[in-house]
Structure 1
Amino acid sequence: METKLLSEINKVLIKFPDYWENETLIKSKVIEDLRNYKKELIENLFSNQTIRKTYSLELANGTVFKVEDFISMLRYKNYWENSYTRYSNEIGLTSSDKYLKYNTDVVIDFPHKDCILEGGMAKEDIGKEEVYYHKVLAKEEIDIMFSPKVLTNIRKYDKNRNGEKEITEFIDTDNLILKGNNLITLNTLKDRFAGKVKLIYIDPPYNTGNDSFRYNDRFNHSTWLTFMKNRIEIARDLLTDDGSIWINIDDDESHYLKILCDETFGRHNFISNIIWKKKYSPQNDARFFSDMHDHILVYSKDKDNFKINLLPRSQEMNKRYINPDNDSRGPWKPGDLSVKTYNANTDYTITTPSGRNVNPPRGYCWRVSKGKLNEMIAENRIWFGEDGNNVPAIKRFLSEVKQGVTPTSIWDYSEVSHNQEARREILALSIENFSTPKPERLLQRIIHLGSNINDIVLDFFMGSATTAAVAMKMNRRFIGIEQMDYIETVSVPRLRKVIEGEQGGISKDVEWTGGGSFVYAELYQLNKKYMDQIQKANSDGEIENLIERVKESAFLDFKINIDKVSNKNSDFTSLSLDEKKDVLIQVLDANQLYLSYSEIDDDQYNIPDSVKQFNHSFYNKKVVKNRE
């Protein structure tokens, strides 16, 4: 009946050319005309008996057209559905035969702003419909998703202990690498690390649609903003009161991200928008401009508490200071005694030791009064030249100048390196290649400016682990989070080589010879393991076996009619292998990817005592043993 109804509606609407763009129905135009009670449209619809029977209410004195029911169908029903689309909708029915995912529309500043986006980033997530949880309507689901998770597959890498070993305790001085969805993992960190992280650096997906690394980087604009908002809100809670966050981003989303961060951290806590020249040669095949730079947005948690470190003075700067008169105060350089801001009280004649009279240039005056000048001459702070005949100058001593340099907001690749050097650093480590690393010198500057020895540095888009590698070499503690499998072939192998004393990147500059350690752990997978297995399936037979395992052991989405997912269902069997895989992934409850710490003692999970002991240590929970 439903197919016939859609066909009859199509027959009527095809008579109105203004409602079509090629073969696509412009639903908004139809809805607008219906709400304006366009006579011609309604008469044509009611002339069709099938439509009239479905969308009218017969009264004694006439007929009522159920306009809103018709609009609801029109808005949410897919026309000319293939079997996959029809089937995908079919399994999403609720008990009242309504599509739950279409029941509410929330629009504030941007769509889904008040929602939580799980934000999958693995290959199986590309092209899938993102999972949103409304903060009010889905509070229970969000509470479950954000609850601390069980950590498993725990091991510690330590040069002094012959590589890796299993451990049962986490201590405050441990560095930490976690594998898991970063939104969920950040919440897992909150109990132990809220208010303790001094510096956060992230290099998130840029939402360009053409990034080469393996994140799902094709979010639409509002989805990307929700994705970022969820994560930086938690990041703010992890920062110390004098901490800061540094976000690497390009032009596509930088200005929107700036406004989002203004809202999250407070506009008054904005520190700087650093421009990093990331390339040393232009792209001559660029259509308009060759993209040569990235932005690094810097925000403090509380600007009143934030203090930035100075950059070290270069040898070139110090070479400008000499000591021709062997002054006991050390090297100095001459400074101008005259100023352009004219004051008649300091416009006077100075007589040099050689007897020459000197006046300031026309329109200028001296920087100090005559009395102050005499004091400075007595203290040997005025230089008249070796023969006492020069225009007087102020001696500015190296020992008295600021022992550091205030950073600027433009960073050239000559100072902090470029992308090509970052790739060479990865290649030199003889590990799996990674296409978008950041150079160690860039992170060296950021970590130097925003943190001190033993402070905690966090990167929750860890990637190739540049942040963690540089933090280790600079004697900072670090936390890294990564979901992708290259954590095992790039990130961890790189950090192991740092422990062993690799000499790439900044190693020679900071005299790194090796040492240190880090703890590696993974979030205990529930539905996540089924997602991985589904994605790896290569045949309908494997899918059939997985269906049974999913029905038996996985956590299913409560909205799903699981009986529709079966090789006995002709609609399901007509799908392609990829479509079957996507449907089976949708069956899984995305809120149950990982095991909550509160369930660690549940016998069905058979958690080893050593893993329980580590988790209790990590979450600072005392275990009370039952007395017989």
Structure 2
Amino acid sequence: MEKSFNEKLIEFLKTDSRFVDDEGELVKAAVIDRAWKIDRDLVKLLLAESDVKSKFFDEIEGHWIFNINTFIEYISDKNFLANSYTRFRNRIGLNIGGKFLRERGEVSLVWPYKDCVLEGGQTREEEKRKEIFFNEILAQDEIDRLFDPKVLTNWKRYTVDGEQKVTEIKRDENGTIRENLIIKGNNLLALHTLKKQLRGQVKLIYIDPPYNPPSNSNTFCYNNNFNHSSWLTFMKNRLEVAKELLTKDGTLIVAIDENEHIYLGVLFDEVFPYHEKHCITIVHNPRGVQGTNFSYTHEYAYFIIPRGVKTIIDRKIEDDEIDWNNLRNWGGESLRSDAKNCFYPILIDSQTAEIVGFGDVCQDSYSPGSRNISKGDLIEIYPIDNDGIERKWRYARRSVESVKHLLRARKKKGTWDIEIGKDFGAYKTVWINNKYDANEYGTKIVKSLVPGCKFDFPKSLYNVYDCVHSVVGKKKDAIVLDFFAGSGTTAHAVTLLNKADGGNRKFILLEQMHYIETVTKQRVHNAMVKEGVTDDFIYCELMKYNEAYMDKIQAAESSQELVELWKDIAENSFLNWYVNPEMPQEAVNDFTEIGKTENGLDKQKKLLAELLNKNQLYVNLSEIDNEDFDVNNEDKKLNQSFYGEAYNG
């Protein structure tokens, strides 16, 4: 059968790789863009085929003039490219004004296709976990009640003794929620759900978002090539609301690799224009993973800090990094007579060289005559220099005991001296330490706490610990938020820090992936048990409505399952207002044809997902008493306790 003009033109245009997407489909927008620019290569391509030339060019005195308007109108027509995929969208109502909804969008929602699995390999593309997502961009005029607070359900409290019922939501004297929380649900909507309760209360947000590696085998894959612009929309939506949760001196830390860190830096300038931005390099894989030209060993951590505020505290220095100096003063104003209360003996054990005490300040009339004086099992050490000049210690007798842990005795050329080491110092911009190794202190720790789990390449616990410590190490009541919770490393780090200093910091984790129940929740609970802390956390979920259908769509394994699910969706779900609630046979036929194409099942899933009204993914708090949603009395009570005055029940 002879091909139609449309088929010929499509085939012809596809010979130019600029107009073809990764699935081999023609990209109309790219063709139209080049036509408006009178692209030389496009014009030459169109002139090369006689039928095409005669349709889109006019001959004037031997010259062929490109009729741009005619060409663009033809390409823009909704019937051009009217394959089964497009015909289905037209018939069911997913095209508006000739444009796909995602071409008009400003808010990016994502849904997982399957749980996190990393097939540990040697290439750089395999380094990050495989999280397969479907994303949809919503236009501003489609956002009605999307960001309303949601009903929370499936409440459980986890203590060191196991799972218990939730009977109350603890608050401090100011009414701020003081609970560790792990919440399952779309993180953008969960952030909006928390907004009224936690606005201006969060001291630190630490996130490790999904990256977008430029590869045909992307480890984090989105429909419509979740490219830089879409990824930035995805991040911008979340950062804008997260910013509202931060205290005035709050800090944001974002872990990222080199594929997105430059783009992310530009986004930070937009969302946080008055903050300092510091990009830290962390060597997290010392063995390296092979890229095309280099073996990559590092990632980045962006610190977004309020300008002019001293936020980052000093770090504890490792023993091999400590810079030791003599406790004895030298130079100007270092003589005994300059500070008489700084001349006294420091006592060490003659066998172990351990500092065991401090003598009284010496009387003016007393002169020891020697730097070291033996007295039985002890040695008295005085601040006398090599020339026999009596000098002074840097610390007065009344304050020296406060730095005893920083002192050591050291023997040089047969004589004992006292040295002081600085065990705290500023965090550097490059972090190199074996404890940041993601395999040794990430993967292995998770597997020891949750045996058999399939979560590879979580962050090193100590990588996250140092990030958290740098901001809230001296803020023992801080709230720490992570809205890409992953395996729960942030919560583990907060737990470890609380154990170290007796703090009462609280963590809040948000995650929509299903492993939140099998990995995240279990890891955090088991970490609390292992560390011997008496803390606990509450687990709850955004109450699903259309989101339940999203789960069913993702779980479907055949085209026929999806057709049956479509019937259920049409009868029982909230559809977008522009979607035809009927199932015309022509649309069913087109839908079936889509299933026969390459990646047909995935295409069908995306189409069904687009039927659903995203404002009704979860049950809005304002509808908690609506009988259609069947919210039980226990959930109503806990939601009232959680939301307080914002509760509408």
- Structure 1 residues 23 and 209: CA distance shift in structure 2, 3 A: closer
Match for 2:506 among 465, 477, 480? Answer: 477
RMSD between superposed Cα atoms in Å: 4.4
Task: Identify the residue that residue 410 of structure 1 maps to in structure 2.
Answer: 430
Deviation sequence 1:320-360 (CA, Å, 0-9, x none): 46xxxxxxxxxx535663xxxxxxxxxxxxxxxxxxxxxxx
- Give me the whole-angstrom Cα distance separating, in 2, the residues matched to 1:565 and 1:84: 15
Letter in 1 for 2:462: R
Task: Identify the residue that residue 615 of structure 2 maps to in structure 1.
Answer: 591
Task: Identify the residue that residue 442 of structure 1 maps to in structure 2.
Answer: 463
Match for 2:199 among 177, 194, 197? Answer: 194
Match for 1:389 among 387, 390, 393? Answer: 387
Alignment partner of 1:376 is 2:338:
yes
Task: Identify the residue that residue 240 of structure 1 maps to in structure 2.
Answer: 247
Are the counterparts in 1 of residues 330 and 391 from structure 2 also a CA contact under 8 Å?
yes
Match for 1:175 among 171, 174, 180? Answer: 180
- Structure 1 residues 69 and 127: CA distance shift in structure 2, 3 A: farther
Letter in 2 for 1:433: K
- Give me the whole-angstrom Cα distance separating, in 1, the residues matched to 2:244 and 2:16: 55
Task: Identify the residue that residue 349 of structure 2 maps to in structure 1.
Answer: none
Task: Identify the residue that residue 117 of structure 1 maps to in structure 2.
Answer: 108
1:430 is displaced (CA, Å) by 3.6
Letter in 2 for 1:147: D
- Structure 1 residues 180 and 262: CA distance shift in structure 2, 3 A: same
1:204 is displaced (CA, Å) by 0.6
- Give me the whole-angstrom Cα distance separating, in 2, the residues matched to 1:45 and 1:555: 47
Letter in 2 for 1:573: T
1:534 is displaced (CA, Å) by 2.0
3-state SS, counterpart of residue 441 of structure 1: helix
1:411 is displaced (CA, Å) by 1.2
Alignment partner of 1:312 is 2:316:
yes
Match for 1:604 among 628, 643, 646? Answer: 628
Match for 2:229 among 222, 232, 239? Answer: 222
TM-score (norm 2): 0.71
Task: Identify the residue that residue 441 of structure 2 maps to in structure 1.
Answer: 421
1:134 is displaced (CA, Å) by 4.0
- Give me the whole-angstrom Cα distance separating, in 1, the residues matched to 2:440 and 2:189: 33
Map 1:50-449 onto structure 2 (within 5 A): 68=69, 70-75=71-76, 82-92=83-93, 98-101=97-100, 115-123=106-114, 130-135=135-140, 138=141, 141-160=142-161, 162-167=162-167, 169=169, 171=171, 172-208=177-213, 216=222, 219-266=226-273, 268-270=275-277, 272-283=278-289, 285-300=290-305, 302-312=306-316, 314=318, 320=324, 333-334=327-328, 337=331, 368=332, 376=338, 386=384, 389=387, 395-397=393-395, 404-414=424-434, 416-431=436-451, 432-449=453-470
Are the counterparts in 2 of residues 527 and 594 from structure 1 also a CA contact under 8 Å?
yes
Deviation sequence 1:291-348 (CA, Å, 0-9, x none): 1111111012x33445332223555677946xxxxxxxxxx535663xxxxxxxxxxx
Map 1:533-544 onto structure 2 (within 5 A): 533-544=552-563
Match for 1:462 among 444, 468, 485? Answer: 485
Letter in 1 for 2:512: Q
Are the counterparts in 2 of residues 151 and 523 from structure 1 also a CA contact under 8 Å?
yes
Deviation sequence 1:565-594 (CA, Å, 0-9, x none): 658743233232614333222222233211
1:377 is displaced (CA, Å) by 7.0
Are the counterparts in 2 of residues 242 and 306 from structure 1 also a CA contact under 8 Å?
no
3-state SS, counterpart of residue 428 of structure 1: helix
1:559 is displaced (CA, Å) by 3.0
Letter in 2 for 1:422: G
- Structure 1 residues 69 and 608: CA distance shift in structure 2, 3 A: farther
1:610 is displaced (CA, Å) by 0.8
- Give me the whole-angstrom Cα distance separating, in 2, the residues matched to 1:268 and 1:622: 31
Task: Identify the residue that residue 327 of structure 1 maps to in structure 2.
Answer: none
Are the counterparts in 2 of residues 170 and 614 from structure 1 also a CA contact under 8 Å?
no
1:288 is displaced (CA, Å) by 1.3
Match for 2:578 among 542, 559, 565? Answer: 559
Letter in 2 for 1:591: N
- Structure 1 residues 207 and 394: CA distance shift in structure 2, 3 A: farther
3-state SS, counterpart of residue 424 of structure 2: coil
Q: Where do 5+ consecutive residues of structure 2 fail to align?
A: 59-65, 116-129, 172-176, 345-370, 372-381, 404-419, 499-504
Letter in 2 for 1:260: L
- Give me the whole-angstrom Cα distance separating, in 2, the residues matched to 1:319 and 1:103: 58
- Give me the whole-angstrom Cα distance separating, in 2, the residues matched to 1:46 and 1:415: 64
Task: Identify the residue that residue 522 of structure 1 maps to in structure 2.
Answer: 541
1:78 is displaced (CA, Å) by 8.2
Letter in 1 for 2:264: L
Q: Where do 5+ consecutive residues of structure 1 fail to align?
A: 57-64, 106-111, 322-331, 338-367, 503-511
- Structure 1 residues 310 and 543: CA distance shift in structure 2, 3 A: same
Identity %: 30
Letter in 2 for 1:469: H
Deviation sequence 1:432-485 (CA, Å, 0-9, x none): 131121121122212222112221111100000011122123232010000000
Are the counterparts in 2 of residues 169 and 613 from structure 1 also a CA contact under 8 Å?
no
Task: Identify the residue that residue 6 of structure 1 maps to in structure 2.
Answer: 6
3-state SS, counterpart of residue 533 of structure 2: coil
1:429 is displaced (CA, Å) by 1.6
Are the counterparts in 1 of residues 110 and 134 from structure 2 also a CA contact under 8 Å?
no
Are the counterparts in 2 of residues 131 and 590 from structure 1 also a CA contact under 8 Å?
no
Letter in 1 for 2:466: R
Letter in 1 for 2:459: K
Are the counterparts in 2 of residues 254 and 295 from structure 1 also a CA contact under 8 Å?
yes
Are the counterparts in 1 of residues 546 and 614 from structure 2 also a CA contact under 8 Å?
yes
- Give me the whole-angstrom Cα distance separating, in 2, the residues matched to 1:4 and 1:133: 35
1:386 is displaced (CA, Å) by 4.6
1:84 is displaced (CA, Å) by 3.0
- Structure 1 residues 434 and 393: CA distance shift in structure 2, 3 A: farther
3-state SS, counterpart of residue 195 of structure 1: coil
- Give me the whole-angstrom Cα distance separating, in 2, the residues matched to 1:381 and 1:573: 92
3-state SS, counterpart of residue 253 of structure 2: strand
